[in-house]
Structures are given as C-alpha cells and as structure tokens.
Amino acid sequence: MTEKARRDFCIECREETAYYLQKKKIVKNIRDKEYTFAITVAVCTKCGAEMSVPGIIDKNIQEVDEQYRAAEGLVSNDDIERLMKIYKIGKAPLSLTLGFGEVTIPRYLEGQVPSKEYSDIIKAALSSPGYMKQKLTENREKLTDAAYRKALAAAESIESLFSVSDKMLRVIAYIFEKLEEVTPLMLQKLLYFIQGVYLALYGKPIFEEDCRAWIHGPVYPEVYELFRDFKYNPIDDARFALLEGTADALTDDERRVIDLVLNTFGMYGGKVLEKITHNENPWIEARKGFDDSIPSSEILPKDRIMKYYTLINQRYGIDTEDGLKAYIHDMIDKV
C-alpha cells in the first residue's frame, strides 16, 4: 500500500486522515503463560491515535499466531502444506498416517494450533523420509491402497535422493542459508573448495564423499544426482524443507571454513569457479590421459587435495579472506 493510499476514517479526528503503520508490543496470556508479541498498528498522522483500518485485525491474528508457534516451537501451516506436497498426500490421509484423527490436519489448516506432541510428530515426518515410511507402515490399514502407494513411493524417492552423508547435507543447508540462491554448478565447486580449505586447515575432511574429475571440474556425483531431479531453483522445491535446521549441527570450525569460502569464492558464478578448478593440480592430474570430450569418473583423492591446499595455505594464508581473495585473483588471471 502506498503512502498516498494510506487514508481512512479516524474516529478521534472525525474525518478521513492519513495514517502510517508501525510495530507495537502487546502482552497476551495463553494457557496461563505470558507472551510478548509485536503486532502492526495503524496510527493517525494527525492526532496519533490508533485506527482500525481494513485488514489490520486479520494481520494481527496472523502475526500473533506465527510468533506464538515460533515461541513454542510449533509447526506452521506452511510446514503442513509442504509435508502434503512432499509426500503427495491429502489432508485426511496425512492425519491417519501420522496416527491422528481424520479431521486433525484439516482443523490445523483452518487455524487450530497443534499440541507440542502432535507438532513434533509432524516435524519428524517433515525432516525424515524414513520416519514417514515408518508411520505409513504403522497405519497402513487406515489408508486406501492408492493413497498408501503414492505416499510410500514419494518417501522412497526422497530417501534415495537424500542419500548423501548427514555432514554433506548440513554443509549444503548452510550454503543455501547464506547464499539463498545457488546454481548446481556453483554448489559443486563451493563444496570442493570447502573440502580443500578444511583439509588444509584441520588435516581432515569436512565430509566423507569423494569428488570426481568430470569435464566441468570437480563434481560430487551424489550431489549431482540429488539436484538432477529438481527443477529451476532447487531451493524453492518443497523437498528442501527436509534440510531445515540441519545446518545447526555444524561445529564452529566448520562454519568458519564455509564462511571463508562463501565470502570469497561465493562471489563468483559457477563458470568462473569451474575455470579456477581447471587450473588446479588435483583436477589436472586426475584428467591426464582424458580428452576433454570424454567423461571421466576419476576420483580426486582427498590426500591430493589436502597436499595442494596445504601448499596454497603456506603461500597465501587461506585461513583469512584476504589470503583466499589473493589466491582467487591469481587463479583468475591464469584463466
């Protein structure tokens, strides 16, 4: 709504006046517990009184609901809708699958707030296809054959998609959290640089997967398979709800290295990052004997990557952003 359009009747001024929106803190008692909520109010520019403008009450209800759920760690309606989309299941079948009454999920979507117990069950299903498969099996007799088969197939498909290690998923989730948007090519190269820098600084891998020397630079095949099924911007896919919260399990050292890489390599697009890897010894050595038109699944050994980045660290000091930027600058100049 534009400033020009923000006009309504002020009961204090007894005339139509302009107003502006601002946040106001209120205290509400819910189930014998006090909560402080920040809600939006309309304020008359002439007298300073609060005004009742169209839509403000509905907005306040939504704000209180969202903040209450966040304070209590309860799932949102968006979470439930994502769960339905991920597993291709309707409201009533989802209720029965999770062991609830048939109308429970429909009521939640209409505004009823779930209990902590039921909310945790929904969260578990949202974060784990294995858990969802378990609930489908437990409540198989309550579902139609069609609903059961469709949801089970979706769960098994997602389970196979997310076949990478937990640590790899945590790193990917953190990258998405920090960069918001990232292409599959860019992601592959960032994972490689993160592994290289971590190996050099801490002498051990950050995740267990090996990358391979594909034509377009280092690639983690498991991650490639994960993304091949996602359309357009994979971050917008409902299935990425499965990654929410996983980045929280990273250690301070792991976050430090990822931040170093994202604040330096993360400034460039996938094609530039690909060209940098093409000038690095690990990829060059692995591609020896292969024509550029021939695919290769040659592994880039972690010890080779660690040896290379250890030398780079000795020369540039890649434990700092300045050191990494200097290295990147030199590598780009070679392109």
In a domain, 193, yes or no: yes
Indicate if 142 and 225 belong to the same structural domain.
Answer: no
Model pLDDT, residue 225: 76
Give, for all 335 residues of the chain, the pLDDT tens digit.
Answer: 444 569 999 999 999 999 999 999 999 998 889 999 999 999 999 999 999 999 999 999 999 998 998 898 899 898 899 899 989 999 999 999 999 999 999 999 998 999 999 999 998 998 888 899 999 999 999 999 999 999 999 998 887 766 788 899 889 888 988 887 788 889 999 999 999 999 999 999 999 999 998 888 999 988 887 776 654 455 566 666 677 667 778 999 999 999 999 999 999 999 999 999 999 988 888 877 665 555 567 888 999 999 999 999 999 999 999 999 999 999 998 75
Of the three residues 21, 37, 71, the one that is the final residue of a domain is: 71
Indicate if 152 and 252 belong to the same structural domain.
Answer: no
CATH number for the domain harbouring residue 13: 3.10.20
Indicate if 189 and 139 belong to the same structural domain.
Answer: no
In a domain, 1, yes or no: no
Q: Centre a 10 Å sphere on the Cβ of residue 118 and count the other Cβ atoms it contains.
A: 19
Model pLDDT, residue 2: 43
Indicate if 150 and 171 belong to the same structural domain.
Answer: no
Indicate if 329 and 188 belong to the same structural domain.
Answer: yes
Instruction: Kindly report the length of the chain.
Output: 335
The answer for 195, left when phi > 0, alpha when psi is -120 to 50, beta otherwise, is alpha
Number of structural domains, the chain?
3
Indicate if 314 and 179 belong to the same structural domain.
Answer: yes
Indicate if 218 and 308 belong to the same structural domain.
Answer: yes
Model pLDDT, residue 181: 78
Q: Which residues contact 333 (CB under 8 A, 6 or more apart)?
A: none
Model pLDDT, residue 3: 47
Domain range for 277 is 166-334
16 beta partners: 9
d(CA 278, CA 73): 46
Asked whether 218 and 211 are in contact (CB, 8 A), the reply is yes
Burial of 258 (0-12, 13-18, 19+ CB in 10 A): buried
Task: Give the residue ranges of DSSP H helices in the chain.
Answer: 56-72, 77-86, 91-97, 104-109, 116-127, 129-138, 145-161, 166-179, 184-202, 221-228, 252-262, 270-278, 281-286, 302-316, 321-334
Of the three residues 71, 104, 127, the one that is the final residue of a domain is: 71
Indicate if 177 and 63 belong to the same structural domain.
Answer: no
In a domain, 45, yes or no: yes
Degrees, nearest 5: CA angle 249-253-256: 100
